[in-house]
Structure 1
Amino acid sequence: MEVERRWLNHYPPEIPSEVDYKEKPLFTYLEEAADIEPEKTALHFLGKELTYQELHESSLRFANGLVSLGIEKGDRVAIMLPNCPQAVIAYYGILLAGGIVVQTNPLYTERELSHQLEDSGAVAIVCLDQLFSRVAAVKEDTSLRHVIVTGIKDYLPFPKNLVYPYIQKKQKPYILVDVQYGDTVHAFKEMLNKSHATRIALTIDPKEDIALLQYTGGTTGPSKGVMLTHSNLAVNAKQCSIWIYKHRVGEEVVLAALPFFHVYGMTVVMNQAIMTRAKLIILPRFDAKQVLQTIHKQRPTLFPGAPTMYIALLNHPDLGKYDLSSIKACISGSAPLPLEVQQKFQEVISGSLVEGYGLTEASPVTHCNFIYEKKVKGSIGVPWPDTEAAIYSTERDEPAHVGEVGELMVRGPQVMKGYWKQPEETAAVLKDGWLLTGDMGYMDEDGYFYIVDRKKDLIIAGGYNIYPRDVEEVLYEHEAVKEAVVVGVPDPYRGETVKAFVVLKDNIPCTEDQLNQFCRQHLAAFKVPRIYEFRTELPKTMVGKILRRVLLEEEKAKEQQAEEQKVQEI
């Protein structure tokens, strides 16, 4: 299927429509950075700094350490770490050893961890000492042969590295673990100290060899391993650096508040920063006050994030005490960016906050608004270089007309190789090179794209199609609303009806009636929520994406409980 790439008419001269990516392994960019600017700071972590030469040498030592444990090309090695220098060293070390990275969320339960390790066939894992007991509990049921353990203190500066264990013991004594090292359990720092910083001879085919198994969130079924090649990941990081064309190679400072174990943080933050020889300011987790303090002191120029991060900063009581003017660009992803949030956050920084779009299966970014040129409200922007996009009508089974809602399809060099060991699932979403995203949207006359919602999130009430994002945008415009998410719940008359979960801003009271009146002023009657539930917080992923699925599961549980109660009464 050929498409008219009308969005290219709006590309500025600085952004090419096609790029020569010089196919090479992803780790090559770290090697080049260490060769060109060895003494430049690569990582800053709570006061500790590593140069590009130190980062490269540590990654080589880790790679050789893996080889000494019997790790071979194509073996899967899992990383279960928060943002820290070890996460970057392990990531590039695995690739330098010819292995395949399996990113694992540190918050996973034993059941979730076991599924991912079993499915990937990971033979080794790098984990935090605090998480060791969880890994040990599932080790015998998986293919794991080796566990490599590290701690936050391993890369803290003096004297923080000495004080940290005592603070940890006092504040969280329940998470302290006495790790018993041996033939299959290894200390991260000791492993590096025993290994050589020499390059391992191996041949990598960037377009065919898998660099990463990134597991989907499981929002539409069991979590699947997305196979992303060296080329997929390198291309997407390159596309990102081209999009931010005013940023200067070797001179930027990137704030890493997004977790590296999420594909968005991995590509747009970590890989993109190393590709452009930027200084990467690493935070182990998102804490609004710490982020404000870090921006004020470290002066980052690029801050990729998620909408909930920007919302938290805007609503922090001390926001006015900090200078955020160093930030020149913010790219928001992982969830829809409310217009109110975008406009208000741009008022407190010196640069631009734009919404982008992507999915794990595309490494992840496919679309973004222009950072320095025309931005379109409510739009995810236009496709990145070498990326095609089209809207397909699910009703007529043919390409949709301009302005018509259908399923978004994308095609480009960042699109995955497929799902790990799932050929049928792969065939269901990859059609002649086109990736079916499962997201519903439309394209306007100028080639700008808009997402109305996930196909599976569509609410059908009384025969009307209701897209949650339409309702959520209106709720966010209310002065008292801090966060909002909308779901469809069963209704005996309409089939489904709209329920809104709302978190209010501190010190701004609001009632259900007030929200209802506001929505009726700005929405068609059939879209107005019939039920409101006020909460102090909403369930979120580590990236800050609101988990609509969890709320739906809660509603189903309530419905089932009500049905059981009726049966008992009968």
Structure 2
Amino acid sequence: MSDTTLPSAADRPWSARYAAGQPRHLDPAYPDALSMFRSAVSRNPDGDALRYFDGRLTWAELDALSDALAVGLLDVGLTAGDRVALYLQNVPQFVIGLVGTWKAGGIAVPVNPMNRARELDLLLRDSGATVLLCLESLYTGVAREVLPGTEVRTVLTTSEREYQTRDDPRAFPGGRPAGVAGTTDLRELLGTHRGSVPPPVSLAPGDTAFLTYTSGTTGPPKGAMNTHGNVVFTSGVYATWCGLGPDDVVLGVAPLFHITGLIAHVTLAQYLAAPLVLFHRFEPALAVDVIREHRPTFTVGAITVFIALSNAPNADRAAFASLRTICSGGAPIPPSAVTAFHDVSGQWIHNVYGLTETTSPSHCTPIGVRGPVDPASGALSVGVPVPDTVVRILDDDGREVPTGEVGEICTSGPQVVPGYWNKPEESAAALRSDPAHPGELHTGDVGYTDAEGWFYLVDRKKDQINAGGYKVWPREVEDVLHEHEAVREAAVVGVPDDYRGETVKAFVSLRPGSAVTPEELIAFARERMAAYKYPRQVEILDEVPKTATGKVLRRELRDRS
């Protein structure tokens, strides 16, 4: 929201927020995600479903294209429950592939387009995908060498240049790759089956809609089985909580392979029967131009996206004027970053929190309210539980901790997945058998609540630093470093130390045109933190290594220390 008088949490206690219309419960509007899509087609057949640079696809056109794909998938032998891997950037073919897979009775497997051979091989083998839909460039550059050892028997290739005519060099560097022998061109397959309609398919709320692989920041990726019921519920959460409708326009800044992009972009647009704006992959200045052109009203992205947008050379308040609601999740948010983005854009960022295993949001900051900042830790609240969701803070023995005390965030509700694909032991470890809280997810995230019911994320349990017996949470140190005017991004890890066993090291990147020395940053933090917390080492990088969704790769930082 762009209202500069946006009230703080203290101005509107939690009871008043409920009275103002925040729902306690949310009835699923559709039995499955495909029914949700079909409803969008029937409600708005001639309206834009997808906008891709200067290209448009209406809901009726998207319906026909996904019908043709479903028929083509059935023609090559896809059966109910088979997996279709989508190895694509943020392009229309991703949505065509997702819906076409559902129409054929299959399960979609979104794959990070940044994955290289080893990572792609792991996901294809683990999922048992029999069909791969990928960009030509990703096939020739990565997939071709991987496929012989997998169960993939059909490869469909496509180009990021389809469905638009304008080749912006920022989005499409280089030429179109040549040589895709041994694959089927997606456009040709769709043309072959154009006008055909697949037989009816029966999908239940408990059926898996897609396997969404965890980022692997703390271990090998696992395929979360996000069900159709999970998808419908969380799509409805965004629509209801954020007050969205068919007149809104969704901006796709999050990668579609990730749970945020899947829910807050693709299936939310289907829930609303509203347009989804895509632009291949994120580049800040390009994104600002796309916002100016298409005038989106809503988006969700990692805080790194909004930091990058606020530093884009063409960013100003006029560019962001159409946006009414902005949410951010996927990575901790420094309060200073929210203020900095507002200074440039005039827009407030509303914090949300969720995981792959919660099919996106389990917590949201009520729209129209600034989330509180805990005065003791400086942490920005991740919001409050969304409808029908129970969240407890538990100690290591599974007991609930008092208000204000730190423990593991444990979540149960309609958005929680039933488990991980072919991993019963990992599923049992994450989803404990508590008769009073069946299917409760132990997130591995550490946090606490305040007296008003606001939740605060501290860090991952595995990221805690033990410095000479003192416990240090990286998030707190990062938030302090973000307060320095020269710091663009900060990431903190524990590194071996002969005296303390482990000590605090910070990695930072700087704002364009800024300069600061490691010694100056150490002194800055020392003035603001307890002696055991401030970083003893600081290393300045061009970029802090992150996943495609903005999560810091702490393992990579530890390995280089």
Letter in 2 for 1:286: F
Aligned-pair CA distance for 1:351: 4.2
Which residue does the alignment assign to 2:460? 454
- Counterpart check, 1:489 vs 2:487: no
Matched, 1:192 2:190: yes
Find 1:148's aligned residue among 145, 150, 156: 156
Give CA deviations for 1:137-177 in whole Å, capped at 9, x if unaligned.
121111011000111122223xx47x99xx97xx536x823
Look up the equivalent residue of 2:162 and give its one-letter code.
D
Q: Deviations over 1:535-561 (max 9, x none)?
A: 111212222332222112222xxxxxx
- Tell me if structure 2 keeps the 8 A contact 1:66–1:97: yes
- Give a deviation string over 1:402-451, Cα, whole Å, max 9, x none: 10000000000010010111111111011132100000110111111101
- 1:177 is matched with 178
1:249-302: per-residue Cα shift (whole Å, max 9, x none)? Answer: 210111111111011111011111121112111011111101111112221111
Question: How much has 1:338 moved relative to structure 2?
Answer: 1.1
CA distances 1:29-61 after superposition (whole Å, capped 9, x unpaired)? 221111111111111101000111111111111
TM-score with structure 2 length normalisation? 0.92
Determine if contact 1:59/1:89 at 8 Å carries over to the other structure: yes
Per the alignment, residue 408 of structure 2 pairs with 407
Task: Quote the Cα distance in structure 2 between the aligned partners of 1:350 and 1:461.
Answer: 40
Change (3 A) 1:505 1:374: closer
Partner of 2:301, secondary structure, is coil
> Which residues in structure 2 correspond to 1:217-366 (within 5 Å)?
217-245=215-243, 247=244, 249-320=245-316, 322-366=318-362
**Residue pair 2:495, 2:504 contacting (<8 A) in 1 also:** yes
Matched to 1:456, the amino acid is K
Work out whether residues 350 and 370 of structure 2, in 8 Å CA contact, stay in contact via their aligned partners in 1: no
Please list, as runs of the form range in 1=range in 2, the aligned pairs for 1:351-430 lying within 5 A after superposition: 351-373=347-369, 375-377=371-373, 378-394=380-396, 397-430=398-431
| Structure 1 partner of 2:514 | 508
Matched, 1:117 2:124: yes
Give the counterpart letter for 2:90 in structure 1.
Answer: N
1:75 corresponds in structure 2 to 82
* Distance across 2 between alignment mates of 1:193 and 1:277: 25
1:98–1:48: structure 2 CA closer, same or farther, 3 Å change rule?
Answer: same
Structure 1 residues 350 and 55: CA distance shift in structure 2, 3 A: farther
> In the alignment, does 2:467 pair up with 1:466?
no
TM-score by length of 1: 0.91
- CA distance 1:78–1:522, shift in 2 (3 Å): same
* Matched residue type, 1:70: G
Given the alignment of the two structures, is residue 21 of structure 1 paired with residue 28 of structure 2, yes or no? yes
Number of the residue aligned with 1:533: 539
Provide, for residues 229-265 of structure 1, a one-character-per-residue CA deviation record: whole Å limited to 9, x for no partner: 11111111111111102x3x21011111111101111
SS at match of 2:560: helix
CA 12–265 in structure 1, closer or farther in 2 if over 3 Å, else same? farther
> Sequence identity of aligned pairs in percent?
40
Structure 1 partner of 2:48: 41
AA at the equivalent of 2:402:
H
Of the candidates 193, 202, 207, which is equivalent to residue 209 of structure 1?
207
Which of 1 and 2 has higher RCO (CA within 8 Å, sep 6+)?
A: 2
Q: Decide whether the 8 Å contact of 1:292 with 1:322 is kept in 2.
A: no
CA distance in 1, matches of 2:282, 2:291: 13
Give the unaligned 5+ runs of structure 2: 1-12, 374-379, 433-437
Q: Mark the runs of 5 or more structure 1 residues left unpaired by the alignment.
A: 1-5, 556-570
Q: Is the 8 A contact 2:504 2:535 kept in 1?
A: yes
The two structures, once aligned, show a CA RMSD in angstroms of: 1.9
Cα pair 1:325 1:348 within 8 Å, conserved = no
Contact 1:83 1:284 in 2 (8 A): yes
Distance in 1 (CA, whole Å) between partners of 2:512 and 2:144 is 42
Matches of 1:545 and 1:155 in 2, distance apart?
Answer: 31
CA contact (8 A) 2:317 2:345 kept: no
Displacement after TM superposition at 1:323 (Å)? 2.4
Give how far 1:397 is off. Answer: 4.1
**Length, aligned pairs only:** 535
For residues 374 and 317 of structure 1, the distance between their equivalents in structure 2, rounded to whole angstroms, comes to 27
Shift of 1:10: 3.8
Q: How far apart, CA to CA, are the structure 2 residues paired with 1:313 and 1:80?
A: 26
1:225 maps to a residue whose letter is G
Cα separation, 2, equivalents of 1:80 and 1:33: 25
AA at the equivalent of 1:400:
V
How much does 1:374 deviate?
A: 5.0
**1:369 touches 1:376 (CA, 8 Å); kept in 2?**
no
